[in-house]
Amino acid sequence: MKKSNRVKMTREQIEKKKKRIIMIVISILAIILICIVGYKLNDYIILGKNKTINLVINNRNVTSDLKNSILIENDEIYISKQDLGNFFDKYIYEDKDNNQIITTYNTKIATISLEENKMTINGSSKSTYASAIKKDDTIYIPIEELEDVYGIEIKYLEKTKVLTIDSLSKEQKKAIITKNVPVKSSKKFISKTIDRIKKGSYVIVISEEDGYTRIRTENGKVGYVKSKRIANIVTTRENIEETKQIEGKVNLVWDYYSTVANAPDRSGTTIDGINVVSPSFLYLDSKGNLEENIGSEGQKYIEWAHENGYKVWPMVQNDGDGMLQVTSTIMNDYNKRQELINDIIEECIKYNLDGVNIDFENMKQADKDMYSRFIIELTPRMKNMGLVVSVDVTAPDGSETWSLCFDRNVIGDVADYIVFMAYDQYGVSSNKSGSTAGYDWVNLSLNKFLKTEEIDSEKIILAIPLYARLWTEDTSGQVIKQSAVPIKNIEKVIPSGVEKKWDDNLKQYYVEYQEDSYIKKMWIEDEESLKQKLLLISTNDLGGVASWSKGMEKEDFWTFLKETLDF
């Protein structure tokens, strides 16, 4: 009896062990099945038959990011406007008035028609094999027509249903496979075979990691092989780096004069430390035409600037009464925007200019996006010739026509530089006296540029005032008048014996005194107040400084500016 019980217990134990072994095997098989069948990768996605086309951009499979399917009709490959916006041009735009799509990229602006087989690239027309099309309210664009615009190389591999797009400005390496090898979906021990390569085949080398090389096969599939199976790595295309016109930080001075005056004679003089001058050369007239104020004096000015190593970025202004509607009309019409852009280009070529400083103010808030379109469309045309676009904007607060008319995020993203005019905190139209540029206001506004508007700090030029305002109030505190006083004249304006009081929030001196029956007030701009604002350039790694304007400064100002900035 005892022996029989021991045998029975042993059999029970054996059955339990069998069950445990079976469960372990099932678990292992499930894990392997998940790895092999259910494995989803960023580099390569296994698709159902005829579901869609794999899209590989610069060796990365982005198929899962597609919002719409890629279409192939009459041997033309179409990608949706939305997807081109995600992958290439986030500012791609439907111009409904002209029934065309406008797209920009680096040094090109292109339009492609929704009606005819035609397009333009940087203003030049050409015939196309296909037009843009609209299906179910989705716009599709023949991608091969945009190869020159986006600077890309396109290949469709019909056998594997893979569309590859490579940027011609990015480095590319190729190598030879030394042995028949499987291409794995990952570096893990258990991973799916996504392709097989024969000895002697060429592959594109993406990266090398931990004894494995990430490659793209001739079938367009992205995966891993062991590095020891790779030989003869050759760089077939180098990275093309964009060069800046100004190495280091910008030190710009505006040289302002009226449209009825001649350019100043600067011959025989230099301005210590600066590298850019912005004279009043270009402006819109009351009909919206671009006019120049250059002449022989302006040409001598340009020669003087270039002889001294200064770049010339003249102002393009919409200054003057009645310009609100004139500017609005231009901004809201693609053809008028292009006319203005072409005129700017012609002036730059004619006078050997190095760029422009767009100084459009007093615009409608409703035109904010269309003003951004103007900058979006101007910049690639200028960049194509190695010219700079800088754009002046006000602080991100204030009135509709003074502040809310700018999309600083877009302008800061597109233009080479966005110039923050950090002055007129209390300006000519203010009914309350106050500082021209209090430090706390400048710093707060600058933080909005950096954090709220998310603008690259190296693109921001901080513009400082070389003047202060003298305010006149009556006994009730009502502002009677105000006037701008150049810093070179401030000491002459303030009566002797008037006490200066330092305001540590504004970081400037304040004076108040009585003259007849009126109260005079001034928040002084001097080397001490300007120095505090200039320090924001280095602490925030900004792109540089601009000074408004030449002729208002003290004699030794430019040396002070150079030493303070230490560019």
Relative to beta strand 518-523, strand 315-317 is: unpaired
pLDDT at 567: 73
Question: What CATH number does domain 248-421 carry, 3.20.20.100, 3.20.20.80, 3.30.1540.10, 3.40.50.720?
Answer: 3.20.20.80
Question: Sign of dihedral through CA atoms 106, 109, 114, 116?
Answer: negative
| Helices and strands in the chain, H and E counts | 12, 36
* CA–CA distance, 47 with 45 (Å, rounded to integer): 6
Q: In whole angstroms, how large is the CA radius of gyration of the chain?
A: 33
Q: Can you state the percent helix, strand and coil of the chain, rounding each to 5?
A: 30, 30, 40
54-157 is classed in which CATH architecture? 2-Layer Sandwich (3.30)
Tell me, what's the pLDDT at 41?
41
Q: What distance in Å separates the CA atoms of residue 94 and residue 85, rounded to the nearest whole number?
A: 11
CA 80 – CA 133 distance, rounded (Å): 9
Do 416 and 375 touch, CB atoms closer than 8 A?
Answer: no
- Of residues 539, 538, 544, the one with CA closest to residue 357: 544
Residue 473: its pLDDT value, please?
A: 98
- Spans in the chain with pLDDT lower than 50: 1-7, 34-50
b/e per residue 277-287 (b: at least 16 CB within 10 A): bbbbbbbbeee
Where b means 16+ CB within 10 Å and e means fewer, 183-197 reads bbbbeeeebbebbeb
Q: For the segment 170-217, what is each residue's pLDDT rounded down to a tens digit?
A: 999 999 999 999 999 999 878 999 999 999 999 999 999 899 999 999
What is residue 86's three-state secondary structure? helix
Distance CA 273, CA 559 (A): 7
- 398 Cβ contact partners less than 8 Å away, ≥ 6 residues apart: 404
| Best CA proximity match to 93, nearest among 449, 460, 414, 459 | 414
Residue 216 C-alpha from the chain's centroid: 31
- Cβ-count burial of 157 within 10 angstroms (0-12 exposed, 13-18 middle, 19+ buried)? middle
User: What per-residue confidence (pLDDT) applies to 536?
Assistant: 98
Query: For 106-249, where are the E strands, in sequence order?
Result: 108-113, 118-121, 124-127, 133-135, 138-142, 152-157, 162-167, 172-177, 181-184, 193-197, 202-209, 212-216, 222-226, 230-237
Dihedral over Cα of 432, 437, 440, 442: its sign: positive
Structure letter (DSSP) for residue 160:
T
Q: How far apart are CA 405 and CA 467, in angstroms?
A: 25
Supply the pLDDT for residue 25. Answer: 65
DSSP state of 511: E
Q: How far apart are CA 61 and CA 59, in angstroms?
A: 7
For residue 209, the cross-strand partners are: 212
């400083």: which residue's tokens? 357
Phi/psi-derived region of residue 124, left when phi > 0, alpha when psi is between -120 and 50, beta in every other case: beta
C-beta separation of 300 from 265 below 8 A: yes
Instruction: Give me the helix-helix angle, 334-351 and 295-307, nearest 10°.
Output: 70
Q: For 189, which DSSP code? A: S
Q: What pLDDT sits at residue 513? A: 98
Domains of the chain, residue spans: 54-157, 171-237, 248-421
What architecture (CATH level 2) is domain 171-237? Roll (2.30)
Query: What single DSSP character describes residue 88?
Result: T
Q: Please say whether the beta carbons of 534 and 517 come within 8 A.
A: no
CA atoms of 108 and 383, how far apart (whole Å): 9
The CA–CA distances, whole Å, from 99 to 72, 113, 125 equal: 22, 6, 16
Q: How many CB atoms lie within 10 A of CB 275?
A: 20
Residue 521, C-beta contacts closer than 8 angstroms, at least 6 positions apart: 433, 470, 471, 473, 510, 511, 512
pLDDT score, position 491: 97
* CA-based end-to-end distance of the chain: 101
CA dist 22 and 471 (Å) reads 92
| Nearest Cα to Cα of residue 260 among 290, 289, 300, 291 | 291
Q: What is the DSSP letter of 48?
A: -
Closest CA to 239 of 172, 165, 171: 171
